[in-house]
Amino acid sequence: MSRILRTVAVLLGFTFLVTLSPAPAASAQEGAAAARVLRYDASRAAEFRGVVDQAARLWNSNVSNVRLVAGTPADFVVYADNGWPRALPTSLGRGTIWIGREATAQGYNHLRIATHEIGHILGLPDRRTGRCSDLMSGSSAPVSCANATPSAAERAEVDSNFAGATPLVEFNELHVDRAADLTPAP
């Protein structure tokens, strides 16, 4: 009988301690559970693979409604080629990106290019403001611009897109932001 009483006492003591303990705080991962996860495949991005991963981490640290993770099957694929950087978003979070060596050869920042092109996949259009502080200003900002962080307005727009707003980017349209396209015709 004393063994049964000891077991009951231990169980009651444990129950008492559990009810007094504060509830565990929600982890950051639980908070991110509401975010839409997009998988990307940068295996064909050649020398830009690492910079694409870095751009994905940059977006992940700046928005809360979407998470970019490397993996397949992919929602968007990133290629390297000898042309100008461009993106073909087919729907929100889906499409194709080309990191073109033409722009990097001219001195444009690799990380800014990758983050900018992912911005199209996340629903952001080109804005061509010429300001380095605007990621989506693209090549209208000086070649020396190395800012790869989306502005507060761009971050809010991406979070809004993934919360149900209608994205401003045009889907099924190739987005090419060539510096040459910004020069007025003679």
- Tell which residue, 168, 177, 182, 183, has the closest CA to residue 99: 177
> Tokens 């897109």 — which residue?
161
CB 94, CB 75: distance < 8 Å? yes
- What is the chain's alpha carbon radius of gyration, rounded to the nearest angstrom? 23
Which pair of tokens denotes residue 153? 């307005």
Name the token pair of 76: 């968007």
Contact between residue 124 and residue 138 where contact means Cβ atoms under 8 Å apart: no
Catalytic residues: 117
Q: Measuring CA to CA, which residue among 91, 77, 98 is closest to residue 123?
A: 91
What's the token pair of residue 133? Answer: 């502080």
